Amino acid sequence: MKYVIEFSKTGRMAYISHLDLSRAFLRALRMTGLQPAYSQGFNPHPKMSIALPLSLGQSSVCELIEIETREDQERLFFAEAVNLLNDRLPDGIRVLTMREKPDAFSKPLASYVRAAEYEILCDGIFDANARMAAFFERVHIPVLKTSKKTGQTAEKDIRPDMLSFSVKNELHGWLLCRVTLRAEGGAVLSPRTFFDAFAGTVRNTPTITRIAIFGDGGEMLAGRAR
């Protein structure tokens, strides 16, 4: 059986690594009685993957993880499985829903992700609405990016990966906005890269929370309707 789990990652868990997060879920799954299936070969690993991993320091209320269980694994009643998992996961990680993976999604979930929406909070940003509008009106926004594989630095235009924005509050220099950024294949724009390009000389650290993940045609894969 293949399952899709939607969960939140907040508080101190914003600083958990991708590897440790996977380990925490694997441990909790085993404690509930759900036994993941394993790949074949000399180095078998559990068939479990997170659709769109977050950078350290970023929270989320809409993470997606898919797991495949052994063929002989009995089905668990979903409501019971959610409670069992939440009892065994660390504080700050909470399962919201668990469901069988739809037959229409024959490939890994990550291959269906097209964009993600983030909420960004930061102080020291004045005239936020006008500045954000002007930022989105720019034709090109070049930034320098360093390849993790080669270590080489190259210029990249992030403007095509900036999809939409809305400023929720700009009271007394506080910026609270939502931005939707591309997140597919090799075109995944980090919200921190976006913010650094927007904020310029402002050195205050933003609080970033992912609030939705979208698929083809704007279909919401995870998150809550506004």
pLDDT band at 226 (very low <50, low <70, confident <90, very high): low
pLDDT value of residue 76 = 62
Euclidean distance between CA atoms 207 and 213, whole angstroms = 18
Q: How far apart are the first and last CA of the chain?
A: 32
Q: What percent of the chain has pLDDT over 70?
A: 95
Decide if pLDDT at 185 tops 80: no
Average confidence (pLDDT) over 108-134: 91
Neighbours of 109 (CB within 10 A): 21
Provide the angle, in degrees to the nearest 10, between the axes of the packed helices 18-32 and 78-88: 120
pTM to 2 decimal places: 0.91
73 burial via Cβ count (<10 Å: 0-12, 13-18, 19+) = middle
Task: For residue 52, give both structure tokens.
Answer: 């769109």
Domains of the chain plus CATH, in order, are 2-110 (3.30.70.580), 113-223 (3.30.70)
Question: pLDDT tens digits for 186-210?
Answer: 788 999 999 999 988 777 889 999 9
Average confidence (pLDDT) over 23-43: 87
